[in-house]
């Protein structure tokens, strides 16, 4: 039986809302363009429940992520205010199905993005940068999906934690990224893994928005994509991420998973 875009959106939104997993779609059921339509329709359902647009996220901007998930195209998804977890706060795994965490860089825009940007223009659009972590939670069984599946599922978006903002953009080039569970390194990498430099994700975001005939208002968040592979979360663990070191470092970002 054929599933329509609206039916697929209702299925995936329902799974996220009720925290249960679903089967992947049969391969070839949806084109990539239809997968983005499903993504938009599923976010629209959240907006109708009272959530607000918060920005966008990029996915698979690093080789480490592409290799971990077996997908090799850059993708993007939509963020809402309900996804934001507090820096230094307690994360309840009951809100998720099978969550994983990954280190990210987050930007906040100071002007609207409504046209493709050059690298120089992209830098000018950014108000501040922060170390961040994304809590991804695929709605598909066993966290397995095709490119179309993951796009339809809003690129596994579920939670995000954003650290203190700074205007220390120089700290972003080739900075060490270190994510720890209970004080032990679980993922170590470099911001250079994100398209060579995390600011390039703003250029990519501007092109993707333009291609989708969408714009992003000032004050929006842009998650640049994970620099390393993701790690499964477990009850009781303390998670921290640091970007850079010494005086050039960005602040760190952390959360405690409820026991
Ligand atoms: C898809 C989301 C990818 C990233 O930062 O690369 C992503 C997934 O891995 O489930 O968020
Ligand atoms: Mg991510």
Q: Which bin fits 152, alpha (ψ -120 to 50), beta or left (φ > 0)?
A: alpha
Question: At the top level of CATH, which class does the domain 5-257 belong to?
Answer: alpha beta
Residues 6+ apart with CB under 8 A from 75: 58, 59, 60, 147, 150, 151, 155
Report how far apart, in Å, the C-alpha atoms of 146 and of each of 138, 152, 168 are. 12, 10, 37
Q: Are 179 and 186 in contact (CB under 8 A)?
A: yes
pLDDT tens across 109-166, in order? 999 999 999 999 999 999 999 999 999 999 999 999 999 999 999 999 999 999 999 9
Name 203's Cβ contacts closer than 8 Å, sequence gap at least 6.
116, 117, 118, 119, 122
pLDDT in tens, 164-179: 999 999 889 999 999 9
Looking at residue 245, its pLDDT comes to 87
Point out the ligand nearest to the CA of residue 228.
Answer: 1
Q: How far is the CA of 226 from the centre of ligand 2 (A)?
A: 5
Secondary structure (H, E, C), the chain: CCCCHHHHHHHHHHHHHHCCCECCCCCCCCCHHHHHHHHHHHHHHHHHCCCCEEEEEEECCCHHHHHHHCCCCCEEEEEEHHHEECCCCEECHHHCCCCEEEEEEEEEECCCECCCCCHHHHHHCEEEEEEEEEEECCCEHHHCCCHHHHHHCHHHEEEEEECCCECCHHHHCCCEEEEEECCEEEEEEEHHHCCCCCCHHHHHHHHHHHHCCCCECCCCEEECCCCCCCEECCCCCEEEEEECCHHHCCCEEEEEECC
Measuring from atom 11 of ligand 1, which residue has the nearest CA? 59
pLDDT tens sequence across 176-196: 999 999 999 999 999 999 999
Q: 58: which strand partners?
A: 76
Q: What is the pLDDT of residue 1?
A: 61
Ligand 1 center to residue 54 CA distance, Å?
18
Mean pLDDT of the chain: 96
Q: What is the pLDDT of residue 117?
A: 97
Residue located nearest, by CA, to atom 3 of ligand 1:
59
Stretch 9-28: mean pLDDT: 97
pLDDT-based confidence at residue 238 (cuts at 50, 70, 90): very high
* pLDDT tens string 34-74: 999 999 999 999 999 999 999 999 999 999 999 999 999 99
CA angle, 10 then 39 then 208, to 5°: 170
> Counting ligands in written order, which one lies closest to the CA of residue 67?
1
| Contact between residue 222 and residue 58 where contact means Cβ atoms under 8 Å apart | yes
Overall average pLDDT of the 77-106 stretch: 98
Q: Return the best residue to mutate from 98, 149, 155 for the ligand 1 pocket (most ligand atoms within 8 A of CB).
A: 155
Ligand nearest to the CA of 195: 1
Mean pLDDT of 207-231: 97
Ligand 1, atom 4: nearest CA belongs to which residue?
59
Give the bridge partners for 179, in sequence order. Answer: 187, 241
Q: Which of 65, 106, 231 to mutate to test the pocket of ligand 1 (most atoms within 8 A of CB)?
A: 65
CA 259 / ligand 1 centre spacing (Å): 25
């Amino acid at each position: 039986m054929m599933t329509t875009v609206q039916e697929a959106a209702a299925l995936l939104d329902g799974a996220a809302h009720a925290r249960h997993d679903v089967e992947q779609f049969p391969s070839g059921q949806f084109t990539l363009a239809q997968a983005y339509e499903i993504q938009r329709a599923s976010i629209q359902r959240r907006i109708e429940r009272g959530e607000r647009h918060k920005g966008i996220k990029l996915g698979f901007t690093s080789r480490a992520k592409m290799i971990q998930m077996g997908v090799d195209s850059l993708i993007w998804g939509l963020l809402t205010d309900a996804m934001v977890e507090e820096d230094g706060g307690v994360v309840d795994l009951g809100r998720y199905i099978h969550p994983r965490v990954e280190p990210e860089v987050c930007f906040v825009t100071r002007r609207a993005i409504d046209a493709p940007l050059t690298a120089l223009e992209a830098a000018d659009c950014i108000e501040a940068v922060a170390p961040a972590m994304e809590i991804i939670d695929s709605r598909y069984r066993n966290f397995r999906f095709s490119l179309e599946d993951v796009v339809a599922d809003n690129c596994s978006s579920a939670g995000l934690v954003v650290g203190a903002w700074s205007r220390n953009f120089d700290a972003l080039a080739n900075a060490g990224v270190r994510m720890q569970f209970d004080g032990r390194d679980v993922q170590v990498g470099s911001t250079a893994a994100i398209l060579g430099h995390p600011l390039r994700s703003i250029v990519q975001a501007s092109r993707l928005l333009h291609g989708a005939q969408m714009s992003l208002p000032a004050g929006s968040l842009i998650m640049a994509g994970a620099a390393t592979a993701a790690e499964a979360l477990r009850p009781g663990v303390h998670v921290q991420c640091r970007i850079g070191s010494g005086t050039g470092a960005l602040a760190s970002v952390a959360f405690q998973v409820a026991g």
